[in-house]
Amino acid sequence: MDTRLLRTFVTLARAGSFTAAARDLHLAQSTVTVQIRTLEKELGAPLFDRMPSGTVPTRAGQRLLEEAEDVLDAVARLRTTAAVAAGQCDTEGGTAEGQVVVGAGDSLCSARLPGVIAALRRAHPQLEVQLHAVSTAEAVDGLRTGRLDLALLLEPEVAENDLLARRIASEPLAYVAAPGHPLAGRAAGWDELAQECFFVHEEGCSYSDRLVRTLLGLPGARPRITRFGSIDAARSCVAAGLGLTLLPRVTVERHLLEGRLTMVEGPEAPPVPVQLVRHRRRWFAPGARIVAEEMTRTFAAAEA
């Protein structure tokens, strides 16, 4: 069986439409259609239901997907083995090439990972790292579907049986407000915070969800909660004097130094663990291993 057909099939299953699959594969949409029809004819079964909203794998397609991913993983292993034998890739020496796709939360994408990518470009210029800002749910889905090779999650734990997670650091949290806010620079208890406006990260963010649950669970609480998909949006509202927020300290350090924000001594907010996550069953390619090692070093140095 032509592995190109399997790659097209897997890409279409991940992308959800012929248009998106063609874009991802850099092929004409008609070519993707022909390849899928060829594979369906070869296997004797329809692999996708064509819906108005896109393509959905049939039951046969769902069964094929896992097997196809295993085959493509095996092909990738063989190619790396051949590259090592030819002297084009040295996994022991730590050189590699190709593409590694990493998903992480907004705060890590903006504050931590640019330095990781810069270090990797200097040490491994043939290694391309693509970075995507994703929620925890999107990261888990991306690892399962193969859209992501690695993910960094700000979560106390990752209780997914098909994923491997390793804590590599923790991020301290900080309550902040604009310098002119009544609580700026002083201690505040839950009774005061429960009467304030909070601008926090979107639902699914572990530390924001914990804060919101605590605030809403207090007797007589009247907090006004606004949630954003962007940390920058929440931070900007707070800097404008509209309320408070709780964010990883690294995302507000520059604003604190410049005087645009100031600390509020609120109740204890435990540092949130940084989890490095990959799929348990998929091959851990040399390039992905190098990226994981560099992220581990960078986060350990920042925590020291």
**pLDDT recorded at residue 190:** 95
* Domain residue spans of the chain: 1-88, 96-170+271-304, 173-269
Q: Tell me: domain 1-88, CATH 1.10.10.10, correct?
A: yes
So what's the pLDDT on residue 275? 97
Query: What 8-state DSSP symbol labels residue 163?
Result: E
Predicted pLDDT at 10: 87
pLDDT given for residue 98 in this prediction:
78
| pTM of the full structure | 0.74
Choose which CATH entry (3.30.300.30, 3.40.190.290, 3.30.1370.30, 3.40.50.1820) describes domain 173-269: 3.40.190.290
The predicted structure's pLDDT at residue 247 = 96
pLDDT value, residue 303: 80
The kind and range of the H/E element at 136 are: helix 136-145
Instruction: Determine the 3-state secondary structure of 278 from DSSP.
Output: strand
Say whether 96-170+271-304 and 1-88 share the same fold: no
CA dihedral 277, 281, 287, 290 (to 10 degrees): 50
Regions of the chain with pLDDT less than 70 = 1, 76, 79-97
Q: Which long-range contacts (CB under 8 A, 24 or more apart) does 208-212 make?
A: 208/246, 211/246, 211/269
Distance CA 286, CA 265 (A): 45
CATH fold for the domain made of 96-170+271-304: D-Maltodextrin-Binding Protein; domain 2 (3.40.190)
Strands of 155-256 (E only): list them. Answer: 163-171, 173-177, 197-201, 224-228, 245-248
Taking the C-alpha atoms of residue 110 and residue 131, their distance in angstroms, rounded to an integer, is: 10
- In this structure, the strands spanning 245-248 and 173-177 are antiparallel
